[in-house]
Amino acid sequence: MPELPEVETYRRYFEATSLDQTLLGIDVADHKLLTTDYGTLTQSLIGSRFVRTHRIGKHLFITTDRGQVMVMHFGMSGGLAYFRDQEDTPRFARIVFHFAGGFRLGFLCPRKFERIGLVDSIEGYALAKGLGVDALEVSVENLMAKLSGKKAMVKPLLLDQATVAGIGNWIVDEVLFQAKVHPETRGYQLTEADIRRIHAAIGVVLQTAIHHEAAYGRFPTDFLIHAREWDDSPYADQRAHTRCPRCGNDLRVIRVGGRATYFCPVCQPAVAREAAEPVKANRAQAAG
DNA sequence: CGCTATGTTGTTCC
DNA sequence: AGGAACAACATAGC
């Protein structure tokens, strides 16, 4: 589930566990998980210490005392686990960093969508990847420029890491729910007030999620996430968790941009298309 | 077995 | 060119 709040939580975890220890070795069970070849990776890192972390969106950067920069991306299911003894190696720890002193850091990759590699610099990587500003730091003005006037729907726009870095599928639904914006609203249909609410919601949702260390079960009860979380379980009483936490009406699940999308049709009504559409449509045929 | 999944990237088509 | 739809990646879990 690594969206920005999880990666921020992993960053703090890394800081708390894995800094300032000499790296003795790196075990890599599947080389497809590396974006830098194994020889270069080990040659560049072994013998050095991790000294600093930085996060942009869902990317975690770790700098060594020799100035090398390693980037971690957690894909759809990655994580970190610090441990000591071999027998405590967590399942899916397909990359393991060994530190002098006997502790190890496991990079968990259940589905092998995760990646580790070296980059020349954080800035260069962000530029090459076209990463937008981190969602925790994005300004209203920046968001305004990235959303207004766009033909695409607001949900795919917010999911685009070039718009803002760090927003994933659950977060974007939560943000749009709290901002009371329908996920299929086009960029050009958003009012300034809409974008201001979206901006505020991004802040609230991310800060709340980080505060709870991304443990969704502990989020406030008026968060949409609970509907999705429990709806996943075929054993749960689905009825009880498919209602809007604010108005009590039935939530809807649709697909937007190929992604499952939860929203409340009452709190997040679709905008009237004709009102906001650019001058182009011939409405003469609309008689009925 | 069949289906879905938190992300990213690339292709293909309009 | 922008945008949308979809597949692919590899695997787990229900």
Query: Band of the pLDDT at A228, cuts 50, 70, 90?
Result: confident
Q: Could you say which residues 121-150 of protein chain A have a Cβ atom less than 7 A away from any atom in strand B?
A: 129
Catalytic residue among A6, A8, A11, A58: A58
Among residues of chain A, what percentage have pLDDT more than 90? 80
Element spanning A228, H or E: helix A225-231
Catalytic residue among A243, A259, A265, A277: A259
| Other Cβ atoms within 10 Å of A29 Cβ, number | 13
Out of A43-57, A90-104, A261-275, pick the least confident: A261-275
Look up the protein residue whose alpha carbon has the minimum distance to the C1' of C4.
A257
Look up the protein residue whose alpha carbon has the minimum distance to the C1' of C7.
A258
Top-confidence residue, A71 or A1: A71
Out of A51-60, A86-95, A232-241, pick the least confident: A232-241
What's the rounded mean pLDDT across residues A188-192? 96
pLDDT given for residue A4 in this prediction: 95
Top-confidence residue, A150 or A235: A150
Q: In what order do the strands lie in the sheet with A79-83?
A: A23-28, A93-99, A104-108, A79-83
Task: Tell me the pLDDT tens digit for each residue of A244-254.
Answer: 989 999 999 99
What's the rounded mean pLDDT across residues A188-217? 94
Query: What single-letter DSSP state applies at residue A39?
Result: H
Among residues of chain A, what percentage have pLDDT more than 70? 90
pLDDT given for residue A273 in this prediction: 58
Task: Tell me the pLDDT tens digit for each residue of A19-58.
Answer: 999 999 999 999 999 999 999 999 999 999 999 999 999 9
Q: List phi, psi (to 5°) of A277.
A: -70, 145
Q: Is the pLDDT of residue A241 over 70?
A: no
Query: Band of the pLDDT at A198, cuts 50, 70, 90?
Result: very high
Q: Is any atom of nucleic acid chain C found less than 7 Å from the CB of residue A94?
A: no
Q: Is any atom of nucleic acid chain C found less than 7 Å from the CB of residue A153?
A: yes
Is residue A35 within 8 A of residue A70, CB to CB? The reply is no
Catalytic: A2?
yes
Query: Band of the pLDDT at A221, cuts 50, 70, 90?
Result: confident
Distance CA A163, CA A133 (A): 8
Is residue A177 within 8 A of residue A280, CB to CB? The reply is no
> Which nucleotide minimizes the distance between its C1' and the CA of A3?
B6
Token representation of residue A46:
């072994």
Catalytic: A259?
yes
Give the bridge partners for A27, in sequence order: A96
Which residue type sits at A151? K
Q: Is any atom of nucleic acid chain C found less than 7 Å from the CB of residue A259?
A: no
Catalytic: A243?
no
User: Is the model's pTM score more than 0.85?
Assistant: yes
Strand, helix or coil for residue A30: coil
Look up the protein residue whose alpha carbon has the minimum distance to the C1' of C3.
A152
Is residue A183 within 8 A of residue A176, CB to CB? The reply is yes
Q: Is any atom of nucleic acid chain B found less than 7 Å from the CB of residue A2?
A: yes
Candidates A63, A74, A78, A206; CA nearest to A122 is: A63
